[in-house]
Amino acid sequence: MSAVLGCEPEWIRSVSGIEERRFGGEEDTVASMGANAARNCLSAAGVEPGDVGYLICSSGSAERRFPGPGFEISHALGCAEIPVLDLPLASAGALVALDLARDLVRRYQRVLVVASEKMSTIAMMEPVERGVSMLFGDGAGACLVSEEPGPLEMVDSLIAADGKFANDLQLPFGAPLGMNGRTVILQASRKVPRSIEDLLSRNHLKPSDVASFVMHQANLNLIAKVASALGVDSERFFANIARYGNTSSASLLIAASEWLQTSGIRKNEHAVFTVFGAGFQWGAMLLRGT
């Protein structure tokens, strides 16, 4: 990437914390990557695709206006004729989907949440801008929300948005991604800690009571800023951005999967998922180990 962008590798590491990323091949699509992640998720949960009651797919990098990738994912999995909801939300989409699934599960029993992004086609669009293109990678994640017991209980969530900053992070049709990096970092470093504190406060908890934080993997420096604002050790924030770069809305689920596999959570311990993305939209979810 440094050769392509005309900069030093150390500069990329210092401003973002990114050392590697994954780019999908020409044959890989938002839908195909999402279907692969969904298969892995359902297999791990021991649930057949035909037993899923609702599918929500988040992607800000879908290849067409409509239909969204969720329909292709549902078909590829062999789901029944279930409802499909596509959310064209960059970065924050996975948490918004989980927030919706938390309510929908009462009606549909099992809600499959998929977030898939092929950001390389956007990041490398000409004219390539060094400060934007260095950030992004491709990937997908999936999560099953069910009335049945699982490793995490969804306790509470808080989602907010402010369209005042809509133009500071946008992807117009047929044009490169536009980002006012300073505004994004400034607003995220203010709004994310506040949403976490508000969520914890109404659940009679403090940041120090939370065992683990899993944040949208946008920038390692931003994660450190949020940890500092909350007054907690940055080691409590799981981070894998060094390996994958910013995979937009997929990053939360990719990080959550690796966090559960490597760090895990004990019974009755609390964790917080948190995001910030285009819109601006942001929020947090409180979870408890079961």
- Start and end residues for every CATH 3.40.47.10 domain found in the chain: 2-146, 152-289
What's the pLDDT at 180? 95
Rounded Cα–Cα distance for residues 235 and 105 (Å): 33
Answer whether residue 66 shows pLDDT above 90: yes
What's the pLDDT at 128? 87
Q: Strands across the sheet with 54-58, in order?
A: 84-87, 54-58, 110-118, 138-146
What's the pLDDT at 162? 97
Reported as a single tens digit per residue, the pLDDT across 171-225 is 999 899 999 999 999 999 999 999 999 999 999 999 999 999 999 999 999 999 9
Both tokens of 159, joined, read: 């989602």
CATH T-level assignment (fold) for domain 152-289 = Peroxisomal Thiolase; Chain A, domain 1 (3.40.47)
What's the pLDDT at 129? 87
Q: How many CB atoms lie within 10 A of CB 164?
A: 10
Residue with more model confidence, 264 or 104: 104
What's the pLDDT at 229? 98
CATH T-level assignment (fold) for domain 2-146 = Peroxisomal Thiolase; Chain A, domain 1 (3.40.47)
Reported as a single tens digit per residue, the pLDDT across 93-130 is 999 999 999 999 999 999 999 999 999 999 999 888 88
